[in-house]
Amino acid sequence: MEFLADFGLFLAKVVTLVIAVLILVAGVIALGSKQKKGASGHIDVKNLTSDFNELVKDIKSVILDKEDLKKEAKAEKQKEKEEKQAKKVLAKSDQLTTGDTERQKRVYVLDFDGDIKASAVDALREEISAVLSMAEPLDEVIVRLESAGGMVHSYGLAASQLARIKERGIPLTIAVDKVAASGGYMMACIADKIIAAPFAILGSIGVVAQLPNFHRLLKKHDIDVEILTAGEYKRTLTMFGENTQKGRQKFIDDLEDTHVLFKEFVSEHRSAINIEEIGTGEIWFGRRAKDKQLIDEIKTSDEYILEQIDQSDVFHVSYELKKTLPEKLGLAANIALDRLLLKWWDRINQARFYQ
| List of residues 6+ apart from 289 with CB closer than 8 A | 196, 200, 202, 203, 295
**What is the dihedral sign for C-alpha 182, 150, 142, 268?**
positive
From the list 147, 182, 267, 301, the catalytic residue is 182
The dihedrals phi and psi of 53, each to the nearest 5 degrees, come to: -65, -40
From the list 37, 92, 220, 234, the catalytic residue is 234
Q: Rg (Cα) of the chain, in Å, rounded?
A: 30
Q: How far apart are CA 230 and CA 165, in angstroms?
A: 42
Element (H, E) at 19: helix 2-37
For this structure, is 182 an active site residue?
A: yes
CA angle 170, 199, 122 (to 5 degrees): 45
CA within 13 Å, CB half, 206: 12
Number of H helices, E strands in the chain: 12, 10
* 3-class DSSP assignment, residue 54: helix
The dihedrals phi and psi of 66, each to the nearest 5 degrees, come to: -60, -40
324: DSSP letter: P
For this structure, is 234 an active site residue?
A: yes
Residue 140: CB atoms within 10 Å: 21
- Specify whether the CB–CB gap between 302 and 33 falls below 8 A: no
Give the residue numbers annotated as catalytic, written as ranges. Answer: 182, 234
